[in-house]
Every structure is written in C-alpha cells, then in structure tokens.
Structure 1
C-alpha cells in the first residue's frame, strides 16, 4: 500500500529502469518506499513499455511524490540508465530493478557506509535469489560466491573471475559514476563494464555483509536473453581491461591449456598480448604448443618466469577447487596475487 506523506529533502536517488515490468513493479517500488531511510527520490525510467508500466508509474507517483517517472522511447537498458543518471539530484545513486525486493534497511546501511568510508566508490550487499523453485543449483553456487566477497581486497582479487557485484544492490557516488563516463555499450554487460572501468581507474568497492536484496531469478532475466551476457563477451570485457591495466606491457604465462586457457588466450592474442608459455599439470599436454607457445610443467615455471620480461601468470581455470590449488602453488613460490599472478575465468 502506497500512501502520500511529507518527506525530507532526498539524500539518495534510487535509479530504477523498467521495461514491460507491470507484473512486479509495484512490489519492487513498495520495498523502496518502505525504506527506513525515507529521504530518497525514486527515478523511474520507463523504457518505452507496452504493457502499462508507464501508466502504473504515473499512478504511483500521484500517491507518493518521491516517485519521479520519466518516459522514453524504447532504447534499451543503457540509454534508460543514463537518462536516469541525468535526472538524479543527490550525491548517491542506488541501483534497483523493477522485479526485485529491497530489505527495509538497505539504503540506510549503504548511505551510512559511504558517508563513513570516503575511500569507497560503491557499496553493494549480499543477496538472496528467489523464488526458490526458479533458482538452479548452479546459481546457488554463484550466490554463495557473490556473498563471500565483502572487503575491497576480496572484490578486487576476484574481479576477473566474474562480476563480483550484483548491479541492483549497488549504491555508488554519483560524481564517480559521471566522471567515469556513465554506462557504456561495448557489446558486453554494461554493469561489469562499469566495475572494470572503475577498478582500472583505481576505485574501490565493498559490500555490507548482510542480505539486503532479493534478486529475482527467471527465464526473462536480461542475462538469459541478451547476447551481451554470453560467456564469450564476458571474456572480451576481462581481456580488454586487463590489457589496459595489470597486463599492460607484460609477458604472460597462462596456467591452464584447457578450454578456458584457449578461450582467454584467443582474445589475448587478438589484443597483441605476448604469451611466452602455457602451464599445465596434464603430462599429455606438456611438451606440446598452444598458439605457438610451449606448454610447460609446473617444475619449469620458475625458470620461464625468471627469463620473461615483467612477467605475469594468468591462472585461467573455471573450477574453484583447481583455482585454490593454483593459488597454493604460486603463493608457495613467494608470489603475490595481483602482482606476480592474477586469477581469471
């Protein structure tokens, strides 16, 4: 139930793009209007919906003046987001989706965190996927991984594995978002692109270690229907920003001559990366070549590393168990993650 009330000047802008979301929109908006942090504005951008979403937004805005609807011709998520950024009047922008649910204290906790931690550009939260009967076991694994990354160092360590922040859980400093160029379309996921651009520029992220967001799972999710969210396009994004950042000018040794190593190396070669060797524990692969570079054993790695120019090992295996073993081996050599080696998947 949405009721008209008098509210203080907003200190956070909730940015909610919506396209044909009439079935879930009111529940999502109600979860925002019921926040303990009441000093908010809800910038709701209707991206040319045809199902009554726009009319519902107009109706709800008449019941609560914090809702500010904007209507645009259908142009896609990125255009809707950038339209919304222009309309946000506060220092903090909290992303939210039209089919999710927010915990009542989400905004209060995130605004307080950003107020107290000026070195953090964006703060997210842990999540719970729902409804249970729509959440596959593999997605529960992803949920567990996302929820395990809390500190800036943990998030930075894993940023080339997968997107470490769930977009609609994030509250970000508006100035930083505008300065970095807002949302951009490079043919890969717009949110992951933003995190990678910010990370490459030296920004830091954190999470509130609480479940403050319920993330709706289903076949209509954009990540399932838009080709930008394919595995191949995620890899393109990772390689692009690694080559702009930590891999720039370095010679590379790729640990993993299997499928993931092949996929990563394909895009690295296209980006003119210098791959001096692959490492693999499979004796059948050792002694062969991959993309013109030798496949070596773990025993040979220290010598090859020592002879390379400003080397970096890319641990490119999809399995978390295998990744943990690789980390143990490389740490045993005295190497530091983020300096001598980086994990990517």
Structure 2
C-alpha cells in the first residue's frame, strides 16, 4: 500500500484534561506517516503547553494559534499549513482506535478520488451514555456500515466530524472550511453530498467520542437545534426544492412552525398538514392546517416531515410507500 502523508486537523480549547490521551492515541497509530496541525482557539488552561511539549519531542506535531476566533477560523488556520495529500479531523477530547488512520486511508486509496472514507464511532463517558446519544450512535453506525450516510442527511449530521478522511483536492472542491455556517461539521457533510462524494462503507469502530457536560456541542450556541434546522432548510431549498411541484410541511410542532415561518418570509408557497385532530383546520400564521390525507389527491408533492416520534415516522413511511413515493425525492425527514 502507498504511504501518503495524512494531515490531521485538531482545533482545541481548554481540553487539558483530555489532550494527552487524545495525542497519545495518534502517536500510537499503526499508520505512522501523518502530521498534526493543532490550533489553539484561545485556551485559558494549559492546553497550549501540553501540545507544545508534544511538538518539541515529535516534529510531526505543529501547534498554532488561531488567527481568528472560533472553530471555523481554527480549521482554516490549520488547513493552510496542511502538507498531506489526505485530510482528516480529530477532536482534542476524543480517542482514535489504533487502526483508525490506516483503515480510513486504505478505504480511500482503494476507492480513489471522489470518495469520503467514514468510520464507525462509539460514545464513552464517566457517567454512562444517555439514550439519545446511544440512538444517534446506532443510527450513524448503521448508515456508515452500508455507506448510505446521505440517505437520511436531513435528519441529523450523517458523517461524524472527527471520523472522516478525504483527498485534499476533493476537500478544496467542496469549499473546505470557507463557509461561516454552523454547525460546521453538518455543513461540510452537506457539501460532500452536494459535490457527489461517495461514502465508503465501513464495518469498524474507529473513533471513541467522549461525552461530558462542558463539551462544545453541549455548551456552544452554534450547536443549538435552530442552527441545525437552518442548515437543513438552506440545503433543501438549494439542492432538492422544485418550485414546479407543490411543497408540503407535515407537522405543526416547533420545527414545523419554524420552517413555515421561514418559508413565508421567503415568499415560498406551501401546504401545511398534520394528523392531530386538535390542530386540523387551525389557522397558524395565516395558513390553515389540512388533514394529511389531502396527499391522496395532491399530485407530485415534495414533503418535509417534522414529526419526531419514531413510531409515527414508521406510519408515515408506510403511508408514502402505499402512494409509491420515494424517500429523498418525494419526502424528507427533518428529524
């Protein structure tokens, strides 16, 4: 197997408790032709000192100060210094499986450009993993095992930010870290999808995702639900929406209302449906909610589903199956 240089981007901020374990897992990789571009995003603890000690001992580590502010700027700062033919990311509080780099690299070299290698993930925590994270892990790994990550991309981020690898050339084609759009990992996943990068199936757990109370995804406003919904609608309107077809929102909860409000602001016509007897015929934002069975007579509609209950989602899928409708063409689950 060829042994090209792999560049590992690691933005970090105040993760001194976990950095050594993270960096040691990189040093202990079975594949050794790598470099680390570690970017300090204004840490106030000893994180910068810890990474600097690794850089003093091992020239493969390069530690930088963020030229801007926030994780997107940190990724840009590090990416400018990347010398590798292949690019991957790592979170400074997580752990790599020993065969992570080698496995992703082999998958990518065997498949060639135009692909993204993705590994399975496992959450760990000193207090145990919540049911929500366990379900997300199971969902994500099932998609990754089959290489079908884009098939449910409007539900949630379908590629884990610290467990992918691409050719640098392909990353540049996708816009790398240029957009100022959060969550940045979800936005990049959509750009892989938009540019036609094929996900390579992977059966292995390659990344251990640490969960704790002060993890950025738990504390930063940039990872709040409204940011995820903004990205979903942005890319739906850009990549999927066909103004010659009727547009339908199914569900009148918070997500349904947020989408409806945005579409009204954009002056995009839509019909609004639900299966809740208390809401049918109700007027919200000047739009009357119809019974979902209007879809039996509505020709060639595009449907955004905002119903979160998993049992109800299965019922909705069955309904669309009877109507010979296709997921990711005729209907899109937004949760």
Root-mean-square deviation (CA), in Å?
2.2
Please point out which of 180, 186, 192 is paired with 1:198.
Answer: 192
* In 2: Cα distance, 1:220 partner to 1:114 partner: 34
Number of the residue aligned with 1:164: 158
User: Number of matched residues?
Assistant: 333
1:89-135 Cα offsets, whole Å, 9 max, x none, are: 11211100111000001111111111122365322221111125153
The residue correspondences of 1:128-139 to structure 2 (distance < 5 A) are: 128-139=122-133
CA contact (8 A) 1:255 1:278 kept: yes
SS in 2 for 1:23: helix
1:216 aligns with 2:210: yes
Q: After the TM superposition, which residues 322-341 of structure 1 pair with which residues of structure 2 at under 5 Å, given as runs?
A: 322-341=312-331
Superposition pairs for residues 219-230 of structure 1, below 5 Å? 219-230=213-224
Contact 2:118 2:202 in 1 (8 A): yes
Q: CA deviation at 1:257?
A: 2.6
Distance, in Å, in 2 between the alignment partners of 1:320 and 1:338 is 18
Per the alignment, do residues 38 and 187 of structure 1 end up closer, same or farther by CA in structure 2, a change over 3 Å counting? closer
Question: Conserved in 1, the CA contact under 8 Å of 2:4 and 2:86?
Answer: no
What CA distance in whole angstroms lies between the structure 2 residues aligned with 1:127 and 1:270?
A: 39
Please point out which of 259, 263, 287 is paired with 1:264.
Answer: 259
d(CA) in 1 for partners of 2:67 and 2:128? 31
Which sections of structure 1, spanning at least 5 residues, go unmatched? 1-7
Secondary structure of the equivalent of 2:256?
helix
Counterpart of 1:100 in structure 2 is 94
TM-score calculated relative to the size of structure 1: 0.89
- CA displacement at 1:147 relative to structure 2: 1.7
Which segment is superposed worse, 207-216 or 147-156?
Answer: 147-156
- Kept after mapping to 1: 8 A contact 2:274/2:291: yes
Contact 2:147–2:201 (CA under 8 A) maintained in structure 1: no
